[in-house]
Amino acid sequence: MYKQLWLDYKKEEISSDSVKVNKQCLTNIVLDSIDQDCVIIRSVMEELQIAVKAMFLESVKVGKDNGEPALYLKKASSLAANLKVNELTLLKGKSKALMNEAYCIQMKEKGLFVTAQSDVGILYGVYRLLALLRQGKYQVNATFTEVPSNPLRMLNHWDNMDGSIERGYSGQSFFFEKENVLVNERTKDYARLIASIGINGVVINNVNVKGAATELISTRYYQQMKELSEIFGSYGISLYLSINYAMPCEYGCGSADPLQEEVILWWKRKCAEIYSRVPLLGGFLVKADSEGRPGPFTYNRTQADGANMLAEAINPYGGKIIWRCFVYNCQQDWRDMKTDRARAGYDYFSALDGQFASNVILQIKNGPMDFQVREPVSPLFGGLSNTNQLLEVQIAQEYTGQQRHVCYLIPWFKKILAHQTYLPNCEGTTQTSVADIVTGKALGQNACGMVAVANTGNDLNWTGHDLAAANLYGFGRLAFQIELSEKEIATEWIGLTFIQTLTSGDTDENHKKVTNTIMDILMNSWTTYELYSSPLGIGWMVTPNTHYGPDVDGYEYSRWGTYHRADHLGIGIDRTPNGTGYTTQYREPNSSMYASVETCPEELILFFHHLPYTYKLKSGKTIIQHIYDTHFEGADSAKHFVEQWQKIEGLISKEQYDRVLKRLEEQSIHACEWRDVINAYFYRKSGIEDQEHRKIY
């Protein structure tokens, strides 16, 4: 049976000093201004029933306020009355849509109170309350209030109809099998998991829509899509579908020209048909003119022409069009030193700013390339001021160890969100971070947010590597509360996932040992992976197609635009105004900062500059010595993860311990392969010895 991850409630796991009052409260529910027949409220009551039965071997009862301790669930027109004066700033500037998902938790002598303005706010509040109690955070007169940071908090699945998952590292799909749609108990448990961390939108199929996937918006699959949308809807989650932009070509029109009247009418009829059968559908995700996928460029039309045609067709039903900006020339000649894949997104979309319909949202990858372990933030964040934007990140670890290596990505996401774009904002300043843009704060927008390429599959633990679940949990919590630190998120996840499974000596000392060990591994994992893989922002030194393991020249002479330009003298791409000109796509002062080798952040210096191996970094080391040192350091760090993990043997479940140990041991071996391949390549290329005289092949 698959695991319940952070929703794996255990008997009497709530701290002993508060068990009695919490047991009384959680078994007695008082509803105020709440409709018990609402599907979302039914989900709330089911979750409470699951938790109470597991923790206390009791059942939940709904009754009237009789003065006894109880859990009070209340819908109110405003949360302001529930907050202390110093907490009212939480509500400042928040849109009506965000306030509808907000909640306030109060812990009083009389009982526990969850207040919200909507049913979904009650749902989020109850999930948060259960998490707080399980972490021992019961405190009389304490108040916990959360208003979502991002309007849209989504997951993109790259699942195929045959059951495979593109860039999937956790088994097969739990949505599809042999062109059948799976709707079962695991579907519901998945909805529970992601609702508990605040996800409100999910795309279930691969953006590369082929074969039977095209028919997901046809009579062949409408009934299953309706069932899925209702399951997700009962947890406040909207179902979205990736569509084949060229579907009219294959089903009657012979064209997909977005300005052709016949195509426009085809999509209007199709949307009317879809929403008559699947009324809860959130909208469509579209990958067009990218990596062989058809799109508006086929007909000499713009990306805005294509997106707006679909937006008009879906608008009467409240649907959204999410349009990916991953558009570039994938037939590049490696000899061409001026064409730069990094420029493509900005070149294609920045001039279209303000031309997209209000229900179109551009989905922009965090960087200009493709989810590398380190790359600069896309200049489209800061290049668009009149367009809805979604930040797209990837928790599937395609280029960061594929869930065979531990790589906690929330620290990386926090850096991306903190990046200053210098975009003029609605407050009249240019202090505008990526977080300000995607939350809607900077430009006063409501159709914006964050999306992650999902890392789940039908493995028993959902994510292949048990520690990879920290990225799933972490993305949801970060998207809901962008102010949370990476350490706060990790602390929550560890407490809900591992502390509740302690098997030996359930003491504060053991709690601390388990927490500190896992925390240290997580917090060092991203930088460790970077140390033993691609140096100084260059990226791409991976095995072609699989993207697992080192192959320095694997993509160097390919058509994909993913080059490092290493020769016997130096390495890196000249993206300054004298090179590809990519640095000019950023606003000042970023443009000048990146263009100058003196001010360019050194962790990105080879992304922006071609430099000799003998160039000295601020550390005093040459680039070549930095490459040698970091790869030895990274391999040593991966080995240390194994040693750290072995110290908590017997403190957590053997099953969890063994699964993680096996992955960490594989990572340690593989980190040595990375170290040796990278160092050998650059030693042979440059002929420069390692100053420390370590073994390089």
Task: Please report which confidence band the pLDDT of residue 98 belongs to, taking 50, 70 and 90 as the band edges.
Answer: very high
> Domain of 38: which CATH number?
3.30.379.10
Q: Is residue 582 part of a domain?
A: no
Task: Please report which confidence band the pLDDT of residue 259 belongs to, taking 50, 70 and 90 as the band edges.
Answer: very high
d(CA 175, CA 159): 7
Are 553 and 692 contained in the same domain? yes
By percentage, how much of the chain surpasses pLDDT 90? Answer: 89
Task: Please report which confidence band the pLDDT of residue 20 belongs to, taking 50, 70 and 90 as the band edges.
Answer: low
Place of tokens 């774009």: 421
Interior/surface letters 71-82, b for 16+ CB within 10 angstroms, e for the rest: bbbbbeeebeeb
CA distances from 340 to 99, 334, 337, 547, 580 (A): 43, 10, 8, 21, 6
Q: Could you tell me if 602 and 617 are in contact, meaning their C-beta atoms sit under 8 angstroms apart?
A: yes
CA–CA–CA angle 617, 608, 373 (5° rounding): 85
> Domain of 550: which CATH number?
3.90.1330.10
CA–CA–CA angle 347, 350, 355 (5° rounding): 130
Task: Please report which confidence band the pLDDT of residue 503 belongs to, taking 50, 70 and 90 as the band edges.
Answer: low
Task: Please report which confidence band the pLDDT of residue 15 belongs to, taking 50, 70 and 90 as the band edges.
Answer: low
Does residue 426 have a pLDDT over 70?
A: yes
Secondary structure E strands in 64-190: 70-75, 103-108, 111-116, 142-146, 152-156, 176-177, 180-181
Active site residue 665: no
Marked catalytic residue, from 101, 146, 370, 486? 370
State the average pLDDT over residues 172-183: 98
d(CA 52, CA 129): 13
pLDDT at residue number 203: 98
Q: Is residue 211 part of a domain?
A: yes
Q: Which residue did the predictor score with more confidence, 109 or 5?
A: 5
Task: Please report which confidence band the pLDDT of residue 23 belongs to, taking 50, 70 and 90 as the band edges.
Answer: confident
Rg (CA), the chain: 26
Are 429 and 361 contained in the same domain? yes
Are 83 and 14 contained in the same domain? yes
Does residue 16 have a pLDDT over 60?
A: no
Active site residue 398: yes
Residues 373-392 have pLDDT tens digits of 999 999 999 999 999 999 99
Cβ–Cβ contacts within 10 Å for residue 559, how many? Answer: 12
pLDDT at residue number 260: 97
Active site residue 185: no
Q: Is residue 391 part of a domain?
A: yes
Marked catalytic residue, from 146, 312, 375, 398? 398
CA–CA–CA angle 202, 380, 293 (5° rounding): 55
Domain boundary (484, 513, 529) is at: 484
CA–CA–CA angle 529, 532, 538 (5° rounding): 90
Residues 579-621 have pLDDT tens digits of 999 999 999 999 999 999 999 999 999 999 999 999 999 999 9
Are 473 and 568 contained in the same domain? no
d(CA 179, CA 214): 11
Domain boundary (484, 513, 530) is at: 484
State the average pLDDT over residues 262-271: 98
Secondary structure E strands in 584-636: 611-612
pLDDT at residue number 229: 98
> Domain of 476: which CATH number?
3.20.20.80
State the average pLDDT over residues 481-495: 97
Are 78 and 216 contained in the same domain? no
Q: Which positions ≥6 away from 273 have C-beta within 8 Å? A: none
Marked catalytic residue, from 68, 250, 291, 483? 291
Domain boundary (111, 146, 181) is at: 146
Are 361 and 218 contained in the same domain? yes
Q: Could you tell me if 18 and 138 are in contact, meaning their C-beta atoms sit under 8 angstroms apart?
A: yes
Tokens, residue 119: 């049913």
Q: Is residue 207 part of a domain?
A: yes
Are 561 and 443 contained in the same domain? no
Task: Please report which confidence band the pLDDT of residue 19 belongs to, taking 50, 70 and 90 as the band edges.
Answer: low
Residue 90 burial by CB count (10 A; 0-12/13-18/19+): exposed, middle or buried? middle
Are 193 and 285 contained in the same domain? yes
Q: What is the DSSP letter of 128?
A: H
The candidate with the shortest Cα–Cα distance to 381, out of 326, 323, 435, 322, is 435
Place of tokens 């048990």: 466
Q: What is the DSSP letter of 625?
A: H
Are 556 and 513 contained in the same domain? yes
Q: Could you tell me if 117 and 102 are in contact, meaning their C-beta atoms sit under 8 angstroms apart?
A: yes
Count the domains in the chain: 3
Domain that holds residue 88: 5-146
pLDDT at residue number 416: 98
Q: Is residue 591 part of a domain?
A: no
Q: Which positions ≥6 away from 134 have C-beta within 8 Å? A: 9, 13, 14, 495, 496, 500
Q: Is residue 439 part of a domain?
A: yes
pLDDT at residue number 477: 98
Q: Which positions ≥6 away from 197 have C-beta within 8 Å? A: 472, 473, 475, 476, 477, 480
Are 98 and 238 contained in the same domain? no
Indicate the SS3 state at residue 103.
Answer: strand
Task: Please report which confidence band the pLDDT of residue 88 belongs to, taking 50, 70 and 90 as the band edges.
Answer: low
Q: Is residue 595 part of a domain?
A: no
pLDDT at residue number 80: 78
State the average pLDDT over residues 34-45: 97
Task: Please report which confidence band the pLDDT of residue 89 belongs to, taking 50, 70 and 90 as the band edges.
Answer: low
Are 389 and 534 contained in the same domain? no
Which value, to the nearest 10 degrees, does the dihedral of the CA atoms of residues 368, 425, 476, 118 take? Answer: -150
Are 139 and 157 contained in the same domain? no
State the average pLDDT over residues 682-693: 98
Task: Please report which confidence band the pLDDT of residue 35 belongs to, taking 50, 70 and 90 as the band edges.
Answer: very high
State the average pLDDT over residues 527-555: 97
pLDDT at residue number 152: 98
d(CA 228, CA 182): 9
Does residue 394 have a pLDDT over 60?
A: yes
Q: Is residue 586 part of a domain?
A: no
d(CA 418, CA 492): 22
